[in-house]
Amino acid sequence: MATTTLPPSPQKVNRIGLEVGAYKGNKTTLCAGCGHNAITERIIEAFYEMGVEPWRVAKLSGIGCSSKSPAYFLRSAHGFNAVHGRMPSVATGAMLANQTLIPIGVSGDGDTASIGIGQFVHLMRRNLPIIYIIEDNGCYGLTKGQFSATADLGSMLKNGVVNDLPAIDTCALAVLLGATYVARSFSGDKKQLLTLLQGAIAHRGTVMLDVISPCVTFNDHEGSTKSYAYVKENEEVLEDVTFVPFFEDISVDYDPGTTTDIVLHDGSHMLLKKLEQTYDPTNKVEALRVLTEAHQKNEVLTGLFYVDTTRKNFLELLNTVDEPLATLPLERVRPSQAALDEVMEELR
Amino acid sequence: MATTHVAVGNSETSGPQQTVVNDLSIQVATVNGSGSQSSNLVLLRAVFQMGIPVSGKNLFPSNIAGLPTWFTIRASKDGWIARRKEVDFLVAMNPETAEEDVRGLHSGTPVVYDEKLDLKRLRDDLIFYPVPFDKLVAPVCPDAKLRKLVRNMIYVGVVARLLNIDMQEIEKALRKQFKKKVKAADLNFNAVKAGFDYAENRLEKADRFRLERMDSTAGKILIEGNAAAALGCMFAGVTVVTWYPITPSSSLCETLITYMRRYRMDPVTKKATFAIVQAEDELAAIGMVLGAGWAGARSMTSTAGPGISLMAEFVGLGYYAEVPGVIFDIQRVGPSTGLPTRTAQGDILSTAMLSHGDTQHPLLFPCSVEECYTMAIEAFDLAEELQTPVFVMSDLDLGMNTWMSDPFPYPEKPINRGKVLGADDLQRLGGFLRYKDVDGDGVGYRTLPGTPHPAAGYFARGSGHDERAIYSEKPDVYANNMNRLARKFETARKLVPGPVIEESNGAEIGILAYGTTHWAVIETLDQLKKGEGIEAGYCRVRAYPFGDGVADFVGRHQRVYVVEQNRDGQLCDLLRLTLDPEQATKLRSVRHYDGLPVDARSVTDAIIRQEG
């Protein structure tokens, strides 16, 4: 024990004066080493770094291990744990009520690609502003390790059962259906995941972020294609991503021959530096090509596959007033006596 | 399938000499998709404009074009507007059903029909009015493609002439029907005139029915229940509407879209003060309702039985997470294809307890188009006061048929948004416990997402949570929460609309009904009194949970007939679950479940039978 008392060191704060503690949540109840916990940490960092007021965020989830995790970040934000596979509709409703919210939906591969595939595809095609994260471990954790629909063909369970159906590629689906920011990452890749999350916060449209997140209890063995070892061995990174937030006064200096600069909705920049091949992240066909080729080569391809900052989001299409509909005063939501009289007269 | 019944033991065949004024039921049998709905509504509206109480019921198939459809128009000087079992006047336009339609009539019934169907050969005890529709339509409608549609306007003219419906009223009704389409209105009115002239010159009036002007509809309106409910939602201040098309509910949201575009666009920005979304299915529709309700919007959806079933899981979550939302159930017959275009009160029990793990929901039972409007407004207040999903149990008969009504009243009260804490409240209080029963009524205080205060947030989830909304599996925490929700349902009992009771002093028997069954029951009360000398009290239940007034009514009578439109006596069962055992044994069940709106005669006969 120290015998002298040191003055407390000044706590680090973000651009709105909040400490990182303001972005934390309850203690996790997931298994030690679960990939989901690493994703939670990156979510905390991303919102902290971006300086988002926690009360602006709405946290949504379905059912499963993944869907518990919104309790572990942004304690002071509102959260809604919906029913299995149907978080997208709850998120949609919340955004219809209050379009000023920043919604983050956390789902799993079972919650999204099986029971929730119907709501998932319709969320993607609406391009609702939301950060939709799949914490993807290829299995059902809470019910003890059954295959999910993102398990790769030939992947093996702990008990030796081999998956004989092809995986649903949620990124390819999202690109096809109309999501406007589609990426895949790995819970173990701190820098890439944080960067993609910061970009997600800067984007105003449907962000679909599939994060391979190994299940240490049921799907981290040899024969699994969602284990830490397998992903580390087989990960191919599409491009090197750098995020420059709108509030940082840094002149963006890059070589247009090797780097693509994407200006996101809030004015932030995402710099995508080409690695081995030339790649245009605004081209849907290219995105589907690289995803298909990665499957053929048994690679876990990560990176930002597709981004479109021009398509209108669902709320813009609805042409609602700028204020949240939820709290419009009576005089704006109840027409006048004269309006009722007019209708009654027409019905006489 | 015939929709008519032979009236057993009916002796009302006294011949044409006794004129019957303003008391008849006209049945029009046509082919679906032939434009007959316009013709029938013109007839209905013209009778209404003559000041005669009138009702119309469209008995239609699940089909766009080609299958048989019937429309009944009842004119009643006494104001009875339930469906009448007997057909007093038939218009037989459908070759497929004409023979069966005619065979079902009682002796002496007049029949207007297409000459080429040669219905005369079937019976010699009816009054036949053959009309050569094809010959009449050709000169007034040169475009052969339109003739199928215009042809049905000819019977409007024939019926107008035979029954003495004022042609000026017909023209007014027709021009209202076609709104700004002047050419179409002219074309159709010429067809009406051709029918009228033919009847005037070639048909000899031989039946006893006649319509004469009255003054019983002055100031009244004609509207469908779904449109009335839509108006109620708009004046309730609904902001988020999510729906999935399903008969017979679709017209509610479709009409709402029309009204909202007209009256709910911001005058300055020209932007919408509402969001209406056609969801991918009912699972999503209710999910959006709950998401919006949680975020503070007045949100609603409209559906029918199959949609209610799909919503079950989410509604249970709404009950436990305590999220407001309004769900309209326009009840119809059966699952899957069932009889999607026929009416029933078949979702009462399943909706009252929809979902799993101890759930109960407030249900409102509108009986009239006016109540579709007023109860829509009440439903939104109740949902937010009680922080729970609230159901408005309409039905196909009410929702899709045209009813007359007094004009709707402008809401007297401002809207009640319930217990919501803002940032200022949180600043003053220092924080809050989402599920704590502060006021003893079982209803906690909530905050909305986006409230700018660090203490505003909470985590909405299913049943397993403590007062702070934190997940808990502790037995006493769980049981306490369940008990509080039971207290909340007691609060609901006090807040929902109470029964409407018409006492009959000293009557041994009582009749209890709800929703559209009301219209048959009030006629039954008259039939019992005048025909059998039986006096009965009447209790119209307007909501579940049942208020004390319902139990007291049962207590005051020796036998209580619960009349409803389902096979299993669903509301009767719900009452048995609720009442004291000695009261529950007084209940007797009268059920109507053939897909057609219930009629008074059937109810009266069933009661007389049980009275023995």
* Distance of residue A109 Cα from the nearest chain B Cα, in angstroms: 19
Non-local (6+) Cβ contacts of A107 within 8 A are: A61, A62, A64, A66, A67, A87, A116, A120, A132, A133, A134, A135
pLDDT greater than 70 at residue A7: no
Residue B296 φ/ψ region, left for φ over 0, alpha for ψ in the -120 to 50 degree band, beta for the rest: left
First-to-last C-alpha distance (Å) of chain A? 88
Region B152-178: what's the mean pLDDT?
A: 97
Contacts of B228 in chain A (CB under 8 A): none
Q: Do B266 and A321 touch (CB under 8 A)?
A: yes
**What's the rounded mean pLDDT across residues B6-14?**
41
pLDDT by residue (tens digit) across B139-157? 999 999 999 889 999 999 9
pLDDT at residue A340, rounded to an integer: 98
Distance from CA of A105 to the nearest CA of B (A): 12
Residue whose C-alpha is closest to residue B325's, from B253, B372, B388, B268: B388
ipTM for the predicted complex: 0.96
Beta bridge partners of A223: none
**B238, closest residue in chain A (CA to CA):** A333
Q: What is the pLDDT of residue A3?
A: 58
Give residue-wise pLDDT tens across range B190-240. 999 999 999 999 999 999 999 999 999 999 999 999 999 999 999 999 999
pLDDT level of residue A222 (50, 70, 90 thresholds): very high
Q: What pLDDT, on a 0 to 100 scale, did the predictor assign at position B61?
A: 86
Give the mean pLDDT of B563-589.
Answer: 97
Average pLDDT estimate for B101-113: 96
Q: What ranges make up the beta strands (E) of chain A?
A: 57-61, 78-81, 102-108, 130-136, 139-140, 146-147, 181-186, 206-212, 235-237, 239-244, 259-263, 269-274, 300-307
Return d(Cα B42, Cα B176) in angstroms, integer: 9
Per-residue pLDDT tens digits for A10-56? 689 999 999 999 999 999 999 999 999 999 999 999 999 999 999 99
Q: Distance of CA B138 to CAs B94, B145, B150, Å? A: 19, 11, 10
Range with lowest mean pLDDT among A248-257, A271-280, A337-346, B20-29: A248-257
pLDDT on residue A9: 66
**Reported confidence tier of residue B7, pLDDT bands at 50, 70, 90:** very low
Candidates B175, B258, B280: best to mutate against A (most CBs of A within 10 A) is B280
Question: Percent of chain A, pLDDT > 90?
Answer: 90
Tens-place pLDDT, residues A305-314:
999 999 999 9
- Distance separating alpha carbons of residues B366 and B519, to the nearest angstrom: 12
As a whole number of angstroms, the distance between CA B490 and CA A205 comes to 44
- What pLDDT does B5 receive? 38
What is the distance between the alpha carbons of residues B439 and B489, in angstroms, rounded to a whole number?
14
Phi, psi (deg, nearest 5) at residue A54:
-55, -35
Contact call for residues A167 and A225 (beta carbons, < 8 A): no
Q: What are the tens digits of pLDDT across the range B42-66? A: 999 999 999 999 999 999 888 888 8
Structure confidence at residue B2 as a pLDDT band (50, 70, 90): very low
Burial class (CB in 10 A: 0-12, 13-18, 19+), A165: exposed
pLDDT digits (tens, 9 = 90+) for B343-373: 999 999 999 999 999 999 999 999 999 999 9
Going by pLDDT thresholds of 50, 70 and 90, the confidence category of residue B598 is very high
**Contact criterion met (CB below 8 Å) for B601 and B85:** yes
Cβ contact A90–B274 (<8 Å): no
Q: pLDDT tens for residues A285-294?
A: 999 999 999 9
What pLDDT is recorded for position B138? 94
- For residues A321 and A318, give the distance between their C-alpha atoms in angstroms, rounded to a whole number: 9
Average pLDDT (B328-336) is 91
Whether B120 and B40 have beta carbons less than 8 Å apart is answered as no
pLDDT of residue B14: 45
What is the number of H-type helices and E-type strands within chain A?
12, 13
**Number of neighbouring beta carbons within 10 Å of residue B555:** 15
Reading the block at residue B178, the tokens are 């076609």
Residue B42 near residue B173 (C-beta atoms within 8 A)? yes
> Residue A86 is nearest to which of B219, B231, B314, comparing CB atoms?
B314
Q: Which of B534, B532, B550 is nearest to B542 (CA)?
A: B550
Q: Which residues of A touch B240 (CB under 8 A)?
A: 93, 96-97, 325
Q: How far is A280 from chain B (nearest CA, A)?
A: 32
Q: What is the pLDDT of residue B12?
A: 47
Using an 8 Å Cβ cutoff, are B69 and B60 in contact?
Answer: yes
ω into B545 cis (within 30 of 0): yes
| Residue among A60, A74, A326 minimizing CB distance to B297 | A326
**Cross-strand bridge partners of residue B240:** B275, B299
Decide: A302 and A240 in contact? Cβ < 8 Å.
no
CB-CB neighbours of A232 under 10 Å: 13
Residue A4's pLDDT is 61
Please name the member of A77, A122, A325 whose beta carbon is closest to the beta carbon of B457.
Answer: A77
Kindly report the length of chain B. Answer: 612
C-alpha–C-alpha distance, residues B42 and B48, integer Å = 10
Would you call A334 and B454 a contact, using CB atoms and an 8 Å cutoff? Answer: no
Q: Which of the pair, A248 or B441, is modelled with greater confidence?
A: B441
Share of chain A above pLDDT 70, in %: 97
- Domains annotated for chain B, with CATH where assigned, are 20-210 (3.40.920.10), 223-405 (3.40.50.970), 423-495 (no CATH), 500-611 (3.40.50.920)
Say which residues have a Cβ less than 8 Å from residue B417's Cβ, sequence separation at least 6.
Answer: B384
Confidence of residue B35 (pLDDT cuts 50, 70, 90): confident
A137 min Cα distance to partner chain B (Å): 24
Q: How confident is the model at residue B23 (pLDDT cuts 50, 70, 90)?
A: very high
What value does the mean pLDDT of chain B take?
Answer: 94
C-beta of residue B112 within 8 angstroms of C-beta of residue B155: yes
| CATH code of the region A20-326 | 3.40.50.970
Mean pLDDT, range B438-444, rounded to an integer: 98
pTM for this model (two decimals): 0.95
The DSSP 8-state label assigned to residue B407 in this structure reads P
Q: Which residue has the higher pLDDT, A86 or B333?
A: A86
- Is residue A166 reached through a cis peptide bond, with omega within 30 degrees of 0 on the bond before it? no
Residue B263 and residue B253: Cα distance in Å, rounded? 15
In chain A, what are the domain boundaries?
Answer: 20-326
pLDDT higher than 80, residue A1: no
Rama region for B358: left / alpha / beta (φ>0; ψ in -120 to 50; rest) = left
SS3 at position B139:
helix
